[in-house]
C-alpha cells in the first residue's frame, strides 16, 4: 500500500440493505492533490465544493458516501457536504479546507447528513493502512465487485507506490471522469505536476470507456501525493515515470469498470486504425462503442457487421465505405466494405462468445488510431435501472 495512508468504511444507514455506505481515506500529513470532474451541467454538491477546494492544492482526507448523490439539493446540499467534511476535519484536527467530499447514488433526494455525522467517529476509529478494500466496498452502488489496484515503481532507485480504488457500473460515458476514483501515492510531487499527470492518465483511461452513454452528475477523480516514500518526481523524466504508472493503474481500473457494467456479459475493445487523424479515429470508435444496436448484437453474439458500418457512417468522420475492413478478433469479417461470407461469419461468432474480445475497424484513410472500451447491452441492464430507486 502507499505509505502514510489509511482507509476505512462503515454502514451509516444510508443504504436500505445495511451494507457499507460511508468511506474515508486519510493521509497522515497534508498531501498535494489533483482532480478531474464531470462536465455535466448538472453537478452534485460535493463536486462544486471540491472544485473550490482543489485550488488550494492540498488535501488531507476524502470522505465519500454511497446510496445518495447529494445532487439537485440546492444550497442545503452544499451545506451538507461542508458538514461532512467539517466532521472529519474536527476529528483529525485538520484544516477544513483540506478535506474533500464525494457522493454517489440517487439524484434529487436530500442527503441524510445526520446519519453520516453520527457515523464519522466510528469511521475514524476504524482507519487502518489495510482498510482500502473496505473503502472500495463502501463506495459501491450497483457494482458487483470492489475495484482496487496497487502498483509500484522506482525513481532513481527509490520505490514508490500507487493505491487506487474506483466505483462505477452504470451512468458511464467518457466525459472527464465518469465515476468515482480515489488515488493515493507516496511520491513527492507538486500539485500542478500532479494535475498534469492526472489529465494525461485520465484521458487514456476513464475517458475511453462507456457502458450506457450517460454521463453522471457526480464524476470525480482525486489523487493525493504525500511524499512518504522518499521518491520524488521533479524532472521531466521522473514525472514521465510517475505518469506512466498512474496511467497504467487507471487503465486497469477502467477495464474493471467496463467488465462490471450493469448487466454486462462482454467487455469489448473497439479499435479504429488507419484513420485520417486521431480525433477522427476516436470519434469513430466512440460512435460504434455507444451504438445500442451494436451493443445488443454483442449480447446476442451476433456478428452483425452492418450495424458497425452504419454507426461509422453517422460518426461524422471522413472515409470511403467501400474500403473499410472489419475484424472480430483475428477474423476478418468485412473486406473493402463487403462481407466475407457465411464461413467467416461462423468463425466471427465464435469470437463473440468470449467474455473479452476486440473489434478492429480499418478505415484505410490515414495512419492514426484510437480505441474505446465498451460492453454489451443486456436485458439485465434494463431491469437494474427500471427499479433503481426501489
* Strand 267-275 relative to strand 356-362, pairing: parallel
- The residues, ordered by sequence, that sit 6+ positions from 297 with a Cβ below 8 Å of its Cβ are 303, 304, 307
Residue identified by cell 473496505 is 134
C-alpha 18/C-alpha 225 separation (Å) is 33
Q: Cα(253)–Cα(181) distance, rounded to whole angstroms?
A: 9
Dig out the grid coordinates for 70 from the structure. 447529494
Q: Which of 274, 258, 257, 256 is nearest to 266 (CA)?
A: 258
Give the separation between CA 350 and CA 50, rounded to whole angstroms.
Answer: 47
Residue 178 is a catalytic residue: yes
Residue-wise over 242-257: b if at least 16 C-beta within 10 A, else e?
Answer: bbebbbbbbbbbbbbb
Residues 6 or more apart in contact with residue 157 via CB below 8 angstroms:
none
* CA distance linking residue 116 with residue 180, whole number of Å: 19
Place of cell 500539485: 191
The active-site residue out of 178, 185, 217, 374 is 178
Which segments of 124-179 are extended strands (E)? 147-155, 158-167
Q: 253: which residues sit within 8 A by CB, 6+ positions away?
A: 147, 149, 164, 165, 166, 181, 205, 206
Provide the CB-side half-sphere exposure for 308 (13 A, CA): 26
- 216 secondary structure, DSSP code: P
| Contact by Cβ (8 Å): 295, 263 | no
Q: Find out whether 210 and 311 touch, Cβ atoms under 8 Å.
A: no
Residues assigned a catalytic role: 178
Amino acid at each position: 500500500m502507499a505509505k502514510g495512508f489509511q482507509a476505512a468504511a462503515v454502514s451509516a444507514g444510508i443504504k436500505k440493505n445495511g451494507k457499507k455506505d460511508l468511506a474515508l481515506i486519510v493521509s497522515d500529513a497534508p498531501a498535494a492533490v489533483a482532480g478531474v470532474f464531470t462536465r455535466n451541467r448538472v453537478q452534485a454538491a460535493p463536486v462544486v465544493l471540491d472544485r473550490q477546494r482543489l485550488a488550494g492544492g492540498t488535501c488531507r482526507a476524502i470522505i465519500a458516501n454511497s446510496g445518495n448523490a447529494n445532487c439537485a439539493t440546492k444550497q442545503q446540499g452544499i451545506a451538507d457536504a461542508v458538514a461532512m467534511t467539517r466532521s472529519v476535519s474536527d476529528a483529525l484536527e485538520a484544516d477544513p479546507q483540506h478535506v474533500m467530499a464525494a457522493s454517489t447514488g440517487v439524484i434529487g433526494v436530500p442527503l441524510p447528513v445526520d446519519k453520516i455525522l453520527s457515523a464519522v467517529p466510528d469511521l475514524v476509529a476504524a482507519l487502518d493502512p489495510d482498510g482500502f478494500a473496505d473503502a472500495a466496498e463502501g463506495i459501491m452502488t450497483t457494482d458487483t465487485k470492489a475495484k482496487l489496484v496497487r502498483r509500484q515503481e522506482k525513481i532513481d532507485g527509490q520505490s514508490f507506490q500507487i493505491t487506487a480504488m474506483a466505483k462505477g457500473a452504470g451512468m458511464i460515458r467518457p466525459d472527464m471522469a465518469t465515476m468515482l476514483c480515489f488515488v493515493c501515492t507516496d511520491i513527492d510531487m507538486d500539485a500542478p505536476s500532479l494535475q498534469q499527470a492526472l489529465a494525461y492518465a485520465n484521458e487514456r483511461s476513464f475517458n475511453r470507456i462507456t457502458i450506457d452513454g450517460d454521463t453522471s452528475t457526480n464524476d470525480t477523480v482525486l489523487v493525493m501525493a504525500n511524499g512518504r516514500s522518499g521518491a520524488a518526481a521533479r524532472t521531466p523524466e521522473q514525472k514521465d515515470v510517475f505518469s506512466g504508472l498512474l496511467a497504467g493503474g487507471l487503465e486497469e481500473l477502467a477495464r474493471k469498470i467496463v467488465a462490471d457494467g450493469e448487466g454486462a456479459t462482454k467487455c469489448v475493445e473497439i479499435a479504429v486504425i488507419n484513420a485520417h487523424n486521431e480525433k477522427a479515429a476516436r470519434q469513430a470508435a466512440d460512435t460504434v462503442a455507444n451504438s445500442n444496436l451494436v451493443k445488443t448484437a454483442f449480447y446476442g453474439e451476433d456478428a452483425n457487421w452492418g450495424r458497425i458500418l452504419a454507426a461509422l457512417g453517422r460518426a461524422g468522420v471522413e472515409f470511403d465505405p467501400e474500403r473499410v475492413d472489419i475484424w472480430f478478433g483475428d477474423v476478418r469479417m468485412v473486406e473493402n466494405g463487403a462481407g466475407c461470407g457465411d464461413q467467416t461469419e461462423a468463425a466471427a461468432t465464435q469470437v463473440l462468445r468470449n467474455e473479452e474480445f476486440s473489434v478492429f475497424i480499418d478505415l484505410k484513410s490515414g495512419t492514426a488510431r484510437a480505441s474505446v472500451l465498451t460492453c454489451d447491452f443486456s436485458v439485465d441492464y434494463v431491469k437494474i435501472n427500471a427499479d433503481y430507486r426501489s
